[in-house]
Amino acid sequence: MRVSIFDVAKKSGLSVVTVSRVLNNSSSVREKNRQKVLDAMRELNYHPNAAARSLAKGKTRIIGLIVTTLQDSFLDEVVNEVTNTLEAHGYYLALSVSPGLENEEHYLIQEDRVDGLIILSPIKEEQYVVELTKRKIPFVLIDNQKIIPSVFNVIVNNFQGGYDATRHLIELGHTKIAHIRGPEYFLSSVEREKGYRQALREAGLQPFAIEQGAFAMDDGYLIGRKWMEADRLPTAVFACDDNMAVGLINALMQEGIRVPDHVSVVGYDDQYFASALHPHLTTVKQPTVQIGRTAVDLLMKQINGNAIRSKTVKLEPKLIVRNSTAAPRM
Amino acid sequence: MRVSIFDVAKKSGLSVVTVSRVLNNSSSVREKNRQKVLDAMRELNYHPNAAARSLAKGKTRIIGLIVTTLQDSFLDEVVNEVTNTLEAHGYYLALSVSPGLENEEHYLIQEDRVDGLIILSPIKEEQYVVELTKRKIPFVLIDNQKIIPSVFNVIVNNFQGGYDATRHLIELGHTKIAHIRGPEYFLSSVEREKGYRQALREAGLQPFAIEQGAFAMDDGYLIGRKWMEADRLPTAVFACDDNMAVGLINALMQEGIRVPDHVSVVGYDDQYFASALHPHLTTVKQPTVQIGRTAVDLLMKQINGNAIRSKTVKLEPKLIVRNSTAAPRM
DNA sequence: TTGAAAGCGGTACCAA
DNA sequence: TTGGTACCGCTTTCAA
């Protein structure tokens, strides 16, 4: 038989109300009685029932985080930070992997299982926006595609990231700088490319080449091979993500073209494997900790009805210089 | 104001009981009335309250999956399979990242938020076993360290994996076969090494060298450098995981030693990056789909009180031959 | 500081 | 096939 709050009340000789107060760290419980209650709980091996608490309070103390994939270093750090920040607020994280909201039947929102939701890099964000707004579930979008002014979101300055990466190559003395961009339906890809172009323009340079891939290592690899076969290699490349950067380096090294001696390469995202491989990849790191913290912050403010300055928070990425970039050979 | 089952009852002109029946797809509701209820639900934009249902039923319909890290391709596939299999059983998955059960305060088990738990590659599994057994929460361990006969677990035949990997190298004609093993406190490491040794023994060969790493790319890299500096390279290597295998290849290629032309390398786990990099890594793949399915299966049987043959299910890994292995040069 | 009683939103039993 | 009602376990008034 399940141990309920009544059993604890009986055992401790106090009422369920007092037990409940102890459970909620309420003030106004005589210390002596609090101890009695705690003792009874321990002896009975009592654990409160989450469903009953949620029902009575109208809150679950759970925040959902919906991600589209688990294959990303980015994710790991964001999840950690979100977990920790939430904990400080007395909330728990329920992670859910879901490619999209096809049937508007996601269990987290279906029955109000969460007090709020964070949605990471959504593909079809509008669906979430519509559904969650309708259900009045507070939510925050991270790294979303379209900026909807009425919606809370945390985004990263991708233009700046592309700019900084390219600027770094220019400052090293490169002039033949190519770019491997991502799919155009990702806002981030487009912005990074804009940053690349802007940096070149300011330096009076032309793009040496611009190729396109879909964030797969093989895309970078094949582009590298193509360049080598055409015997038209840039001296520096800014790739829209680490996968393509590593793929490119892989192709070059295989043919004995050394990075960064012959070609410098900059990636984007700071994936684990990219920093672990030699040469350690120069890349642009997302401010993962800040992203996680900010998202929770925005969510808590919504839930607690606090005033909010701006619904959109834009964070800055950070160039991390490692060993895949160097001055060009003369 | 929240829309409750009473509102639906009123609107549809039926009782809450009937509404509840519709909600649970109960038989014995006149089709006409069912429609009335459904219409009312739609009009009112009604969504049942999960907490109330859980409380009344004594079940949450949620299964927790606790993982120690998100940095693993293995995980992604298992999670997908678990999600799908659970769905077929009418359950939802709540994923939680937690390094261990330090304070025995994991929210998933703290307040019976789940009907069951799957724990993936736990470090300190005893803590879970003790706590969950005490709370009578059904659970299944995946890839656990110690086999506890009284506990349900899904494990993989790591001995076989090590054996197959090594056997593959032997069959290619290699005789100078080294091994990079993992930390000895992982049962899987120990078993894979045993498989390696057994395969060699059967072929009348001696280990060419055995080094140890901690599943980091850099470990493989440094071991590779060490071998090269000592000018004592094996012609084939079986690494205990893909990270170390890739790190090793990285070191070799950097010095112009070609894989598999000069050295063949086999990894373990089939991580995404390992199969994407060139040469595509020959590796041993965990049966992720089967693992996920089996774990859910064992859990459901526990929950439903079905008879169970064996509490431990051992699955077989599978060697995947790609381009990092070839016959030795004469 | 404490407790009695009325919910929170469903489900389940029993009777109609 | 339908509905009245007790109840799931906890929190929240309100009064003492």
User: What would the 3-class secondary structure string for A22-66 be?
Assistant: HHCCCCCCCHHHHHHHHHHHHHHCCCCCHHHHHHHHCCCCEEEEE
pLDDT of A104 reads 58
For B:84-103, CB contacts with A below 8 A are 92-97
pLDDT of B71 reads 84
Q: CB burial class (10 A; 0-12, 13-18, 19+) of residue B175?
A: middle
| Calpha distance A226→A251 (Å, rounded) | 10
Q: Does residue B103 surpass a pLDDT of 70?
A: no
pLDDT of B328 reads 95
pLDDT of A282 reads 98
Q: Does residue B89 surpass a pLDDT of 90?
A: yes
- Identify the bridge partners of residue A62 per DSSP, sorted by sequence position: A92
User: At B206, which helix (H) or strand (E)?
Assistant: none
Report the percentage of chain A scoring pLDDT > 70.
Answer: 98
pLDDT of A101 reads 67
Which of A102-116, A140-154, A202-216, B78-92 bottoms out in mean pLDDT, i.e. has the lowest? A102-116
Reference B163, options B266, B313, B314, B235; nearest CA is B266
pLDDT of B104 reads 58
CA A214 to each of CA A180, A183, A245, B99: distance values in angstroms, whole numbers, following the listed order: 10, 6, 12, 33
Give the count of alpha carbons within 13 A of B322, CB side only.
21
Q: Are A283 and A275 in contact (CB under 8 A)?
A: yes
Residues near strand D (C-beta below 7 A) are A 2, 4-6, 16-17, 19-21, 23-24, 46, 48-49, 52-53, 55-57; B 14-18, 21, 27-30, 33, 52, 55-56, 58
For the entire predicted model, the pTM comes to: 0.92
Q: Does residue B188 surpass a pLDDT of 80?
A: yes
Mean pLDDT of chain B: 93
A252-257: average pLDDT: 93
Please tell me if residue A83 touches chain B, with a CB cutoff of 8 Å. yes
**Pairs across A and B, CB distance < 8 A:** 120
Query: First vs last Cα of chain B: how many Å apart?
Result: 81
B200-229: average pLDDT: 98
Amino acid in the structure at residue B244: M
* Pairing status of strand B92-97 against strand B264-266: unpaired
Nucleotides of C under 7 A from a protein CB: 1-5, 7-13
**Chain B residue nearest residue A55, CA to CA:** B51
SS3 A67: strand
Q: Could you read off the pLDDT of A185-204 as tens digits, one per residue?
A: 899 999 999 999 999 999 99
Q: Are A236 and A264 in contact (CB under 8 A)?
A: yes
pLDDT of B146 reads 83
**Distance, in angstroms, between B212 CA and closest chain A CA?**
18
Comparing CB atoms, the residue among B51, B113, B256 nearest residue A55 is B51
Q: Does residue A148 surpass a pLDDT of 90?
A: no
